[in-house]
Each structure stands twice: as structure tokens, then as C-alpha cells.
Amino acid sequence: MRLSSSPRFEQFGSVRIHQVQRVVELDAGRGRTSSSSSSCGTVAVGRHDLSAVESRMAVVVLCMNEQSHTVESVLSGIPHDCFVVLVSNTRRAPSDGYEAEVAHLLRHCADTGRRAVAIHQKDAGAARALREAGAGQLLDPDGLVRDGKGEAMFVGLALAAWAGCEYVGFVDADNYVPGAVLEYCKAFAAGLHLAGGGAGDAMVRVAWGSKPKARGGRLLFDRRGRCSRVVNEWLNRLLQELSGYGTECIATGNAGEHAMTMSLAKKLRLAGGFAVEPFELIYLLQGLEDGPTTDKAVGGGGEARLAPVHIRQIETRNPHLHDDKGDDHVSGMRCQALNMLYHSHITPPSMKTALREWMVAEKMLEAGEEPPRERVYPAMEDVDLEVLSRVLSEASETMVVSVQPPLPHEGCCCWS
Amino acid sequence: MRLSSSPRFEQFGSVRIHQVQRVVELDAGRGRTSSSSSSCGTVAVGRHDLSAVESRMAVVVLCMNEQSHTVESVLSGIPHDCFVVLVSNTRRAPSDGYEAEVAHLLRHCADTGRRAVAIHQKDAGAARALREAGAGQLLDPDGLVRDGKGEAMFVGLALAAWAGCEYVGFVDADNYVPGAVLEYCKAFAAGLHLAGGGAGDAMVRVAWGSKPKARGGRLLFDRRGRCSRVVNEWLNRLLQELSGYGTECIATGNAGEHAMTMSLAKKLRLAGGFAVEPFELIYLLQGLEDGPTTDKAVGGGGEARLAPVHIRQIETRNPHLHDDKGDDHVSGMRCQALNMLYHSHITPPSMKTALREWMVAEKMLEAGEEPPRERVYPAMEDVDLEVLSRVLSEASETMVVSVQPPLPHEGCCCWS
């Protein structure tokens, strides 16, 4: 994969946010990774370097009530060497959609010699394992894992950590273009390689180039959803509050497709629902802590406590063509980011006031109302993965592990 | 790339038509090509083998009045090691769309270190070169190359042959999904490798898995266009006439996306317009000759005059999402295949009668009318490529060659 080079970045404490890079070639040929001093303004990441990341990366596929045809198509787009973690919240009655998904996954693994694991978000054994491992906050009053995207990501991340993967990426299962899934995974690998290949903490966030919508009998390609624009604008405003300089550097506030080093993933605290992706950025800006004080917060202090966290943003080429689940509704929920921003201790009072007024004007709040607080879960490093693993294997009712006999060119090394 | 294996084929004389293979993984990982005796029902073609084909393959991009954004997107999907041949019939007035396409191509080549050539179909120098090289049949009464897809393919094929490429593939420039373009090229390389990697003649034809259409404000995924179904049905009926056995083995009669060995491409006679793709099959079934007699026709004779021609058919995963230029019109023209079939000397009289009656019933013909004859051009092996090359370099007004200084990982070896 070849990307436009990204010589510019902005640094906030230990967080280094790189300017968006565009995908220039999906397949950069058989050459090696080009030196960054290349004069043509692009950088190619060679196949060997992509493979080195892919073979250590779990790709968590988040699944809810998709057509099984779509799930199969997404699987075909994930590079073979990645370890697949399917987390499903698909309904199980009257017909068992999860069972169909697992059947497709196992068929795919048998056909390809690939390794994968699947689990249902409402698995009672998984809930028990999470509770005993120290992540009881994930559970609802019925004692099962709550609904929500952040909650599904937490479960997927736990399985990826348990399997010993060094990188973890997230893709949605409702994608109609397997070539886009492949591009996301290659962008993850390219960005993680460029960010240091495992040395230090890094995250890659995808900004898709366009989103086709059927309007008036034809296809139009939108650049960015309205909520994405709003969330990016407010996040950039926060950066200006931190540094004093106006910026547009965040273009991936709501990035569903993103990946990171496991070392970073273990430190992050994930938020619930659709607040999860923007909150990763807010949490990093808070200085990898969620305490109420700001004296350790990042943003200009000379104290070099932490190795830099590289955030790479990559604009992909393929249209993001996904299941239309009623965009207005989802779009509103995706703006949960603003609630997180409002309640962050690094957001200055004047910005909180402006944000609340804006939300009232946009009818996202009643006048005088406070934005609701979203849930924030413990970091994976505070979860006892040994307990999680033991209880899961004893008690899980839905977990399915596909461990194929190694094929001549079996490459995944992350399953121990 | 991993494909479902294709143990079955049907043979007609020297033509071996393989059952459709499906793409199972877009990226089969870093392993080597699996042995065909693999028990899991699939076959992986390793990157090394894909690269070996790609670096010897020209990809001809056929372009007419597309948005330059779309052309750029298609370029990003073509594997780096392939040699790009852009053949454009884009209007040049009132504004010069071709000039914009060339600017995009040169920008892309400068960014990527890739080699490419572009030419306009209405280039007066190219017309002169073709006439002097023995392909004057391509020209219209004005002395320029005729409009039409087959005619554009002829020009692209001539440039690919001239450049010394060992394989040639064709993709349309109106594709909105660069990941699909990548998949087509990988399928070309995988199929050509499986067909013997240059030993003997081979062709790979793509059947896309679905075609999204905007209907009633939502996207629906159609399996196959009506004209494709019709053309496949009549071609399969011809096969039954040849062998006596009913068959559905042809699934790619109208395949716009296809590739072949240069040795085969040089022997083929291309038809004009949209008859070009189905006529390739008809011509091969005619026994690589277009004479009026049938004594050398294939179809059961024991005489083994020719090395087998392998025709691989691959069903791709990505949706085929392309510019909508008014499908009814194009669809009608694509059925030009039926005219070719009607006039082929291997089509038995009874089938000709049935075909003509059907075309009258479908209002493609008036009662009593004969299907029109389509143009058929000479085989490239009968064109003097040396003359073509010399006159082109002297007289072409629109040809642009991008020969980049070799980058550290420059791989294309087909430009001599």
C-alpha cells in the first residue's frame, strides 16, 4: 500500500496527531518499504512489513443482525494472516441468527485454514467471566453484557488480548464492499508499521473518502456525514483550547474503522455505545488517565513522562457502502461524543457553555438540561485476563474457536 | 488470493472452459501457492506468483467521459507492478476531458513511480500508424479509428503488444470501487497463474458477484444483468449443439473485465463495439480461424492440432458499482453478441432459425429481417508492430508515455 506522506503533525503532550494521509495505491507492488525521504511525496509500505503487522493483528468484526451473506463477504476481505474475532449481538429468536453467523465463519475457516473465534455479546458465561475478572461494570441489571458498540468492542478486545495479539483493529460487519474491508486492514497495517512497528503506542484511524447514498434514483457520493463533521469540529475546538492554535487536524473523531497497538489498547478506557471511538481520543488527550484533576493533563507542559502516542489518520479510497439502518437515529447516537466532551475535565468551562448552548439550539438537549454522562469502562490492563480466560472456557455458552490444522502456508502466530 | 478450486471443465476441441471459481479470500496471506491437491476445496495463489504475472501484465483502462475523480480512483486500484495503458474516447471539446485524464495519469505516475501510456482513440497519428501497419479496417470514412469498445481494446492491445507485455487485461474506467479493480487484476493474475503461467494460451474472464442498483431509495444487489443472462444462455446452447450435452458452463459471455496471455491475444480477431467480449469465445470455438468452412472446427474431432486454450472464469466478491449511462441502451448494444452468434459458421441452421425468431419476439429485429453483421478486425499477429511503433512515435498527437526514473522498488519489467 502506498500513502501520501505525512510530514506534518501536531503534538499535545504525549499525543502526536498526524495529518491525514491518503491512500495512493491499494497495492504498491513487490518492492520494499520506501524510505521516508522519498522525493515523490508518497510512502510505500512493502508487503513484508504489512504481513509482519497482519500476522500479529486481531481484526474484531462487530456484528448485529446483518445478512449472513454480508458477514461472509466481510470475512473474505480480511487479510488471511489476521486473527478474526467475531463479536455478535445478533438476535437469537425466533430464528438463531448467531448460529448462522457461526456456521458461515466455520465454513470460511475450513475453506481457508484461518483461525478465528466468535462470541455472542449476551453470553452468560462471558458476563460471569468479565465480572470475575474485574469488569463487572460492563453488565446490565440482568447480569449480561450491556448492548452497545463500545461494550462489543470491549469483549472483542478482551479476546484479542487473551489470544496474545500485538495489534487489534475493528471493522463493522455491515459493509457491502469486501475490497473496502481489505483496504481498512491494509491501512491499519501500513499506519501501524509507519508509527514504529510495535515500538511505542500507536493508533490508526480511517476516514473513508466517500459514502454513496441512493438519492432520486441515482448514487451520490457524500464526503462526510453531518455528525462526523460536528464531532470533528468540536474535537478540534478542544485542541485549540489546549494549544491556543486553531486546527483542523482531527478528521476521524467518529472513526469506526480503527486499529491500535495492544499496549495502547490495554491502557485505554473504552466508553459505552457510540461514544467509544471519539472517547479514545478524548481519553488520550486527558493524559491516559481519567482522574478528576488536570495537573497531569497533557497540553504544553515540558514534562516528558510518556512515550509519544502516534495517531495516524488515513483516508481510504473505497466508498463506504454499508447497511442503511436509518441514518438519522444512528447519527444522533453517534453524537454521544459531545456528551463525553462536555464532561471531560480538560474541556474548559467556557467551551462547555458554548457546547451546551449549541446542543440546545440543535434540539439535542432541552434548555437548562445537562448533557447525559456516558459510561466509561475499566482499562484492559486492570482486567484479570487469566481469570477471564479460565471462566470463559468453563462457562461460555456461545464461544466458538476455530483452530485449523496448520496448512502449508499457515501464517497466524497470535494464537498461543 | 484464494479461490474455490475448479476440478471440472468442459472441453470443446482445443478450448477448455473451466467451471466458475469464486474468490474466497481477497488476500491469502504470505504463504506460497497451495498445491492443487489441497483437501479444503480451495486454492491459494501466493503473492510471489501473483507478482510474477502482474509485473508482465498490461492493464488496459477503457475510458469515455468519466469524471476524472473516477479515473484516478481506478488507477489507485491497479496493482503497482502492472503497466497501465489508458485508451480514451473522451470528448475533447468544448473542454478537453482527455487532457484532464492525462494530467491525472501523469500526477499518479509521478506520485508512485509507475509506468504508463495514454492515447486518444481519435488520434490521427494512431489512425495512420494502424493503417500503415495493416489494420486499416479499424478506420472510419474520416480516416480515424472508429468509435466502439472493441476498437478501443484493439488500440490498447496494440500498445501492450508493442511494449512487450506477456499478459494483457482490460478494465473499464467507470468503476466507483477501486477495491473491485484491484480484485479484478488479482483474479486475472491468479487465473493466469493457475492456467499455466505463460505456458500455452489462457484467458481469465470475470463474473462479478453482484451489481448494486438504487431502487426506491435503497440499494438492491442484482446478480446478473438481463443481457448477460441472455448471451450466456445462447452461448451455452451453442456448446450443446457442438457436444450434444446441455451445459451452463459459460457464465462470462459479456465479461468486460478479462485478461489473457499475449500469445492468445495476438491470435484472436477482435469484433467491433460491444460484440468484442462474447466474440472472443465464439472465435475460439471456431477454432482460432474465421474461415467460412467448418472442416477444421472444433467439437469432438480427435485431431489434436492446437495446445489447449484454458478459459478460467472467476466470480469476484466486490459489488460492480459503475457509472450509470442509461442501462437499457447499453444493454441492447451488449446483445450484439447475438448477431455474432447468428453469423458464425459453427452455429447450426436450426439454431440460427430459433435465434432469429427469438430476436423478433424480443423486438430486436423486424420480422423477416436478418441480424446485422458486426465488424471483425484482423488478429494482432497480422499487424506489423514495428511499423505501428515507428509511425506512432512520429505522428501521434495524443500519446503520452510516462517513464519514471526507477524507484528503489520499481518492478515493472514489461517496458523495453
Region B37-53: mean pLDDT is: 86
Q: In chain B, which residue's Cα lies nearest the Cα of A209?
A: B73
Whether residue B247 contacts residue B239, with contact meaning beta carbons closer than 8 Å, is answered with yes
What span, in angstroms and rounded, lies between the C-alpha atoms of A112 and A117? 14
What pTM was estimated for this model as a whole? 0.92
* Predicted pLDDT at A132: 98
**In chain B, what residues touch A79 (CB-CB under 8 Å)?**
26-27, 29
What span, in angstroms and rounded, lies between the C-alpha atoms of A340 and B119? 55
> A202 - beta bridge partners?
A310
Pure H helices in B19-148: 47-54, 68-77, 97-112, 124-132
* Predicted pLDDT at B197: 59
Q: Which of residues 64-83 of A touch B (CB under 8 A)?
A: 73, 76-77, 79-81
Locate the domains of chain A by residue range: 2-34+41-288+307-402
**Each residue of A191-214: pLDDT tens digit?**
999 998 556 899 999 998 888 877
* Predicted pLDDT at B292: 35
* Predicted pLDDT at B304: 39
Q: Cβ contact (<8 Å) for A179 and B180?
A: yes
Region B90-97: mean pLDDT is: 94
Q: Which of residues 19-38 of B touch A (CB under 8 A)?
A: 23-32, 34-35, 38
- What number is the ipTM of this complex? 0.90
* Predicted pLDDT at B219: 74
**Each residue of B313-342: pLDDT tens digit?**
999 999 988 877 665 556 666 678 899 999
Radius of gyration of chain B (CA): 21
Q: In chain A, which residue's Cα lies nearest the Cα of B81?
A: A29
CB count, 10 Å around CB of B221? Answer: 16
**Each residue of B101-147: pLDDT tens digit?**
999 999 999 999 999 999 999 999 999 999 999 999 999 999 999 99
Whether residue B283 contacts residue B13, with contact meaning beta carbons closer than 8 Å, is answered with no
Does the pLDDT of residue B248 top 50, yes or no?
yes
Class of residue A19 by CB neighbours under 10 A (exposed 0-12, middle 13-18, buried 19+): middle
What span, in angstroms and rounded, lies between the C-alpha atoms of B66 and B5? 36
* Predicted pLDDT at A304: 39
* B232 vs A337, more confident: B232
Which CATH number is B2-34+41-288+307-402 given? Answer: 3.90.550.10
**In chain A, what residues touch B176 (CB-CB under 8 Å)?**
212, 219, 221, 319
Q: Residue B213's pLDDT band (boundaries 50, 70, 90)?
A: confident
**In chain B, what residues touch A71 (CB-CB under 8 Å)?**
none
In tens digits, chain A (416 residues) has pLDDT values of 999 998 799 999 889 999 999 999 999 999 888 875 555 689 999 999 999 999 999 999 999 999 888 899 999 999 999 999 999 999 998 999 999 999 999 999 999 999 999 999 999 999 999 999 999 999 999 999 999 999 999 999 999 999 999 999 999 999 999 999 999 999 999 999 999 855 689 999 999 888 887 777 677 787 777 788 899 999 999 999 988 999 999 999 999 999 999 999 999 999 999 999 999 999 999 985 443 333 333 333 444 356 789 999 999 999 988 877 665 556 666 678 899 999 999 999 999 999 999 999 988 889 989 999 999 999 999 999 999 999 999 999 999 998 754 443 333 333 33
List the single best residue of B1, B2, B3, B27 to mutate versus A (max A Cβ within 10 A). B27
